[in-house]
Structure 1
Amino acid sequence: MSSPAEDKECGVCTRRITSEAVFTAECSHSFHLGCIFDKNSNTSPLSLCPLCYTNWNHLPFYKKPNSDSNVFHTNVYHPLELYYDDDDPFLEASIRESLEFSDDDDDPFLEASMPEPLEFYDDDPLLEPSSASIVVVGGGLLQKVSVEAIPERHAISASEPVSLFTVLLKLKAPPLSADAVSSQRAPIGLVTVLDVSGSMSWNKLSLVKRAVHFVINNLGPYDRLSIVSFSSQARRICRLTRMTDTGRYDAKLAVDSLYASGGTDIVQGLKKGSQVLEERRYENPVTSIIFLSDGNDTCNGGGGGSYFRQNSNFGNGPPEYLNLLPRSIYPGEGGGGPEDMERIPVHSFGFGSDHDSVTMHAISDASGGTFSFIESYEMVQDAFASCIGGLPSVVTQELRLTLRSASDGGEIESIPSGRYASEITDQGSKGTVHVGNLYADEEKEFLINLSIPALPNSEETERKTSILDIVCSYRDVVSKEMVEIESELVEIKRLKAVLPSDMTVNLEVDRQRNRLHAAESIAEAQKMAETGDLLAARTLLAKGRTVILGSASAQAGDVFGTWLEEDMMETERRMGSAQLYQREGRAFALSGMSSHGTQRATTRGKKVAGAGLVENFSCVAALQSAPAFGFDPYSTPSMANMVFKSQQLSKTDDTTTTKEK
């Protein structure tokens, strides 16, 4: 599909807009990028639309030429056209000489227009932190992960076996210090894979550029960023570059060179993004891909969002063309266990109502990332802000829980761990949960279901029995050393006579059962909706809400139960009709499944993860007593702070626009 821009004329030179760098302003008018620069000063972009006279607040970045250069006067109507004149190397060389580039400084415009290297071994070297910059906290480089175990009841009968007894494991990552610097966290290697197909034209691409600028501004000199764009073909427009002042400038310049045209080849876009990371010379401790698209794959026979409805074999998996993706981001069936290979987490962002949410969720789910649904185009910057608020705050890696039954004859029956891989071995005596990375202050909670045998000598009035042994191991991102925490044995009382008060279930355990019930209900309802049975899907969600509202924790006023009930109600509402489900219900349900499965915040519909929370989480108690005020159980302070920063920046921009008008 051709871009609308290809049939438009530049508002300055009136020539047809084709395959040149294009600037699309907030007013939706498009211009050749070079044409909006003042032909007298050659360095200052126009700030007023020459067609509708709207003030522009978001202007492109451009390298300043030497003061004595007159190369821009070669063509005052479209000076940057020479950048894309591949047939004239002399002109291209003269432009390079006129700009103030150092020998090792790559020009992103030239990189975008010149043939790509066959291999991407050109990434910036890592910046090693100095030992003086690492702050010692409490005798170590970082505080340790806290591990807490809570039995569902404090006592059970000594003479009766219990076939299903639940222990709640609570993990909480250490915080970053208030004056944290880049060297106190894991530097990230980030690749943004951006859809620039024809459907992304006009204001949509302008908003995405603004959002990527925000990402660039909020990465540090230890972090590295690469930018890949894709339409009918994919292209790396910025190599993996450290975000120094120069690196940020070059990255913004590359972003502003993007224009919308062509079809949508999701496979090629993600292949290129993974190639950047797989062929790099240096590896950041934390690596991720941010993937944004507003449409369906038009180049690989993709069925799009209606894939399952087109196939009677629902449940056999996502579209076949995903098997064309690298195994590092989509292992497919038989991809091996969690240690079989290193995965590259893909955090997918479905943009608008026409994106392929089934495919994007499948990619994120397989790679270990998250899937977000950006319903309103204006939300894209806040959605990106929430994501990068978490990624640079990783404080622990490779976290694993090792569990052992501590009672004779007792067994681990099940570990409903959501999206985190778990396994039970040694005839139920051992269990493992692979959690991976934790953001600063992030919490994860897991239920461990055990069977507990009767005591051989149950005549004693009271005694304590050990039921579970827990070891938590992970890599500290600062010291890069493995840390092992052995928790105290989980014990319960064994009584000869059990009173009714002893049968009361712990409310925190009940709360997590509600979370699992909500997640399972949404997943099952989504399957029903895909087959067209929307009535059954809504009925299932309504019954699930009733169960949660009737639970002990909800009856006790637990805000988490109220939040789950409201979440399921919104999912149910968006399954009101086939058209509504196709437009927004599917993406909303899948983003909810991603969030609950990972216990990590995602943007869902009109709700940005972390939005509405105060900057420093100082009002958490107030939030928990008033869900409407902004309760978000999966967001971390770092995520909320970054969203707050994005929203404040947007308010400032809006205020400036209003005053100028």
Structure 2
Amino acid sequence: MGGESKWRKMKLALGLNTCLYLPKTDGDDESPPRTSDVSPRMPTTPTPSSSGLQLSKYGHKSSPKRTCAICLMTMKSNGHAIFTAECSHSFHFHCITSNVKHGNRVCPVCRARWKEIPFEKSGSSRVKSGINSASWSQQDSWMILQGIRPQQMPSNRHVPLLFQAPEPPIFDDDELVNQKVEEISSGNTNSNGGVEMKTYPEVSAVERSAHFDNFGILINLKAPVTKGNLNTRTPIDLVTVLDISGSMTGTKIALLKQAMGFVVQNLGPLDRLSVIAFSSSARRLFPLRRMTEVGKQESLQMINSLVANGGTNIAEALKKGAKVMTDRKFKNPVSSMILLSDGQDTYTSISPRKTGLKPYYQTLLPPSVGKKDDFHLPIHTFGFGMDHDAVAMHSISENSGGMFSFIEAENVIQDAFAQCIGGLLSVVVQELRVEVECIHPVLQLGSIKAGSYNVGIDDNGRSGFIEVGDLYAEEERDFLVVIDIPVEESGNDMPLVKFRVIHKDPIKKTTTVLGTEDVIISRPETTAGKQIVSVELDRQRNRLRAASAIAEARAAAERGDLAAATLLLEDCRKKLAESVSARVGDRLCTGLVAELREMKERMASRRVYESSGRAYVLSGLSSHSWQRATARGDSTDLTSEITSYQTQSMVDMVSLSQTMCFSRSPSTSMINPTAGQSNNKKSLRSIHSFPAPQPR
């Protein structure tokens, strides 16, 4: 027949655990053979006119060398596809696609001119036959065989990640939100009661003739308890962005699949999940889909197909993850993203060596995510191992309103995910806002201590606000308002400020406004024997003091002055030990002292700081800033001494992570049902964070 057949144009075969060799014949049919006829068979001696895709597991018998002529690495690198050209020279597929991506048809070894290359631009003959080569990146070199779905492949084969249809230009193919959400919002409630609010002045009385500068007023907020029922809790849209670069091979990617299996199994039929896998580029495995039984099975199949290879392109992965959220047609009440990486972005120019400027890590964050007033999408980042860019990961989470966790030990990855999911699946409060207003006519707000939360004070200093956002069930937040108390000659009582709390119920979509009684202190002639110091407020001052010391110590460590860094931590530890709350045996203060000691040890040398200290400190700062639990390191010393920010939902999910066994089925065969179970106790201890206040 005239011209090359469509089947001939798709002869680059599937990259499975074998190779498919298709010699050119004069009798090629215009139609591809039936799926059942495409049986793998080993080549004998390749002809000059043949090209094929195979896995290096089997090697290549005709190549003059056992190494790739481009990267000079062995052809036996596990999991690397190999391209054999018409001239019989072979290369790693990701190497040659990079070499010829602009249409170069010359062999790098013998300079022979090729008739066919593994990559061609859109609009070429390959596109007509169902292969859009331009849509794949270097490591995304698996070719698509039009008309064959992953479900049709042999169940014992390891299906490549990219064996699927090309991505649409707009991600508006998300699955319809279940109508039960509306039924829930008009029926049951997802929590017991509303937000609880308490206020504490620093002292109960100030002498009339005295002024008190930097007088503190604490407001404590506590979210209601959730019922924890799948049919009454708030549904979530979750995008997980997973690093599958070459450094994730072996145990790492196996544990990642296991952790993702746990996430999938614990999402409900009202929740929706989408997965972005990235290495040298990023690809959406599947759109936002509900985690019904069918949705779970199909999701696990795709997750199990992941193959580690290539570089690390975090910026593109985040951009694609944000696109899933911004393009979606439907929305669940809660939206969030999880990012896990064990490396550094090798494609985005953020290094001072490249730019000559201070690293600008926010360039990794999609613009749509940074606009908190427009689109709030917290990105919870997980730095895995010793080689990840902790500063970049912390910056991404901090600028998006998410948490940064440091996973030091491989066997903790599932527990870290479990803690995060335990919180995300228990959101009971949204759009929480705290407003404060001075009552006494001469008072002005000095400052509002709220960590990373958005804070504002009006021009005349008489009122201010704190934008808090979402709260998980039973979560607490403590904010400190500072004012100067002037001399007051008249009256026995002095009203200071009043608070108002506004928040939305994510299920009922109703708004609640909660106000307090005025915060009042007495102004006696003398306070001798009448002074009552607030332990609750002193506890929070200690927390803020420790957070400040850790931030200063980290800055000193980054300058290379570890001696100054450890001195700052030790000085703070001594001050905490002398505080009012320390003298009454406050557990938070005890935990802070232990935390400072741990950080001091992780700054003992440049090697220790670079390998784990920086990530450990940044994870702690993240926990301080947002007053929320993070996973930190692999220390087993702190959790026996402190109470973490973990809520009961988080604790329950971590416990479930350590006891849950996955069913062995074809869709979950890659998920190890027993991995890590022998280390359950250690894993649980590794999930810890900044201590929470004692029950009042």
Q: CA deviation at 1:243?
A: 0.5
Q: CA deviation at 1:160?
A: 2.6
Q: Which amino acid aligns with 1:118?
A: P
256, 281, 285: which one aligns with 2:329 = 281
Instruction: Tell me if the contact between 2:160 and 2:307 (Cα under 8 Å) persists in the aligned partners.
Output: no
Residue in 2 that maps onto 1:187: 235
Change (3 A) 1:475 1:111: farther
Say if 1:223 and 1:322 are closer, same or farther in 2 by CA, change over 3 A.
same
Q: Residue 409 of structure 1 is aligned with which of 442, 445, 449? A: 442
Q: Does 1:645 align with 2:678?
A: no
Map 1:3-22 to 2 at 5 A: 16-17=55-56
Q: Classify the secondary structure of the residue corresponding to 2:397.
A: helix
Q: Distance in 2 between matches of 1:163 and 1:657?
A: 55
Q: Which among 90, 95, 117 is matched to residue 168 of structure 2?
A: 117
Report 1:617-656 matches (<5 A).
629=640, 631-649=642-660, 653=674
Provide closer, same or farther for how the CA distance between residues 382 and 88 of structure 1 changes in structure 2, counting only shifts above 3 A: closer
Q: Partner of 1:77 in structure 2?
A: none
Equivalent position of 2:347 in the other structure: 299
Corresponding position of 2:246 = 198
Q: Is the 8 A contact 1:301 1:321 kept in 2?
A: no
Q: What is the TM-score with the length of structure 2 in the denominator?
A: 0.73
**Could you list the per-position Cα deviations for residues 322-365 of structure 1 after superposition, in whole angstroms to 9, with x for gaps in the alignment?**
42632233x3xxx6xx53x2221100000000000000000100
Q: Which residue, out of 351, 355, 360, partners 1:320?
A: 360
Deviation at 1:263, TM superposition (A): 0.6
AA at the equivalent of 2:360: E
- Residue ranges of structure 1 left out of the alignment (5+ in a row): 1-5, 20-28, 34-82, 101-107, 613-626
Q: Is contact 2:181-2:270 (8 Å) kept?
A: no
- The one-letter amino acid paired with 1:450 is I
Match of 1:522 among 544, 550, 556: 550
1:210-245 residue CA offsets vs partner (Å, 9 max, x unmatched)? 000000001111110000000001000121111100
The answer on 1:207 being equivalent to 2:252 is no
The code of the aligned residue for 1:126 comes to V
Kept after mapping to 1: 8 A contact 2:205/2:532: no
| CA contact 1:156–1:502 (8 Å) conserved in 2 | no
1:170-197 superposed Cα distances (whole Å, 9 cap, x missing partner): 00000012xx323432211100000000
Structure having the larger proportion of residues in helix: 1
Contact 1:86 1:114 in 2 (8 A): no
Q: Note closer, same or farther for the CA distance 1:203–1:550 as it changes in structure 2 (3 Å cut).
A: same
Aligned position for 2:195: 145
Structure-2 change in CA distance of 1:150 and 1:282 (3 Å): same
**C-alpha separation between the residues in 2 aligned to 1:638 and 1:321?**
32
Q: CA RMSD in A?
A: 3.3
Instruction: State yes or no: 1:589 paired with 2:617.
Output: yes
> Could you say which residue in structure 1 is the equivalent of 2:409?
376
Quote the Cα distance in structure 2 between the aligned partners of 1:452 and 1:147: 23
In structure 2, what residue type is equivalent to 1:569? R
Deviation at 1:145, TM superposition (A): 0.1
1:285, distance to aligned residue in structure 2 (A):
1.2
Q: Indicate how the Cα distance of structure 1 residues 372 and 9 shifts in structure 2: closer, same or farther if over 3 A, else same.
A: farther
Alignment correspondent of 1:69: none
Aligned: 1:502 with 2:541: no
Deviations 1:417-438 (A, max 9, x none): 1011111114111010111000
Q: How does 1:241-390 map to 2 (within 5 A)?
A: 241-303=289-351, 319-320=359-360, 322-323=362-363, 325-329=365-369, 331=370, 338-339=372-373, 341-390=374-423
- 1:439-458 to structure 2, matched below 5 A, reads 439-455=472-488, 457-458=489-490
CA-to-aligned-CA distance 1:531-584 (integer Å, 9 cap, x gap): 100110001101011111111101111111010111111111111111111100
124-133 vs 631-640, greater mean Cα deviation: 124-133
SS in 1 for 2:175: coil
Distance change >3 Å, CA 260–CA 226, structure 1 → 2:
same
The answer to whether 1:162 aligns with 2:182 is no
Question: Quick one: structure 1 residues 532 and 490, their matched pair in 2 at CA, closer, same or farther if it must change by over 3 Å?
Answer: same
Q: In structure 1, what is the Cα distance between the partners aligned to 2:387 and 2:608? A: 12
SS at match of 1:431: strand
Question: 1:632: how far off?
Answer: 2.8
Equivalent runs, 1:73-92 vs 2, <5 Å = 86=143, 88-89=145-146, 92=148
Contact in 1 for aligned 2:315/2:366 (Cα 8 Å): no
Mapped pair 1:424 → 2:457: yes
Cα separation, partners in 2 of 1:32 and 1:155, compared to 1, 3 Å:
same
Correspondence list, 1:423-502, <5 A: 423-455=456-488, 457-458=489-490, 463-499=492-528, 501-502=529-530
**1-structure distance, mates of 2:354, 2:558:** 10
**Which residue does 1:172 correspond to in 2?**
222
Structure 2 SS opposite 1:149: strand
Give distance in 2, aligned partners of 1:373 and 1:656.
Answer: 21
CA distance in 1, matches of 2:276, 2:675: 29
Q: Deviations over 1:366-385 (max 9, x none)?
A: 00000000000111000000
Q: Does the Cα contact within 8 Å between 1:411 and 1:452 map onto a contact in 2? A: no
Q: Distance in 2 between matches of 1:402 and 1:602?
A: 28
Greater shift, 281-290 or 155-164, is seen at: 155-164
Counterparts of 1:224 and 1:578, CA distance in 2? 43
Distance change >3 Å, CA 199–CA 293, structure 1 → 2: same
Q: Say whether the 8 Å CA contact 1:174–1:395 is kept in structure 2.
A: yes
C-alpha change, 1:292 and 1:97, in structure 2 (3 Å) is closer
Question: Deviation of residue 321 (structure 1)?
Answer: 6.2
Determine helix, strand or coil for the equivalent of 1:397: strand
Higher relative contact order (CA 8 A, sep 6+): 1
Q: Secondary structure at the match of 2:322?
A: helix
CA contact (8 A) 1:124 1:241 kept: yes
2:505 and 2:420 mapped to 1: Cα distance? 21
Per the TM alignment, residue 134 of structure 1 is displaced from its structure 2 partner at its CA by: 6.6
Match of 2:275 in 1: 227
How many positions carry a matched residue from both structures? 544
Match of 2:568 in 1: 540
Q: CA deviation at 1:528?
A: 0.5
User: Distance between the aligned counterparts of 1:114 and 1:632, measured in 2?
Assistant: 48
1:563 aligns with 2:574: no
CA deviation after TM superposition for structure 1 residue 116, in Å: 1.1
**Structure 2 counterparts to residues 127-146 of structure 1, below 5 A:** 127-129=178-180, 142-146=192-196
Shift, 1:607, TM fit: 5.0
Question: Does the C-alpha gap of structure 1 residues 274 and 133 become closer, same or farther in structure 2, counting only changes over 3 Å?
Answer: closer
Contact 2:361-2:395 at 8 Å conserved across structures: no
Separation in structure 1 between the aligned mates of residue 323 and residue 292 of structure 2, nearest angstrom: 23
Mapped to 2, the partners of 1:98 and 1:262 lie a distance apart of 25
Q: Percent identity?
A: 39
> How far apart, in 2, do the equivalents of 1:325 and 1:290 lie?
13
Check whether the contact 1:135–1:184 (CA below 8 A) recurs between aligned residues.
no
| Residues 1:231 and 1:31: Cα distance change in structure 2 (over 3 Å) | closer
Does the CA contact (< 8 Å) of 1:141 and 1:478 recur in 2? no
1:637 partner letter: Q
Partner Cα separation in structure 1 for residue 143 and residue 181 of structure 2: 44
Point out the more displaced range, 289-298 or 140-149. 140-149
Whether contact under 8 Å (1:30, 1:202) holds in the other structure is no
Equivalent residues of 2:418, 2:654 under 8 A apart: yes
**Any residues of structure 2 matched to 1:57-96 within 5 Å, and which?**
86=143, 88-89=145-146, 92=148
The letter of the residue matching 1:491 is: I
**Shift in Å at residue 408 of structure 1?**
1.6
Letter of the structure 2 residue corresponding to residue 477 of structure 1: P
| Larger CA Rg, structure 1 vs 2 | 2
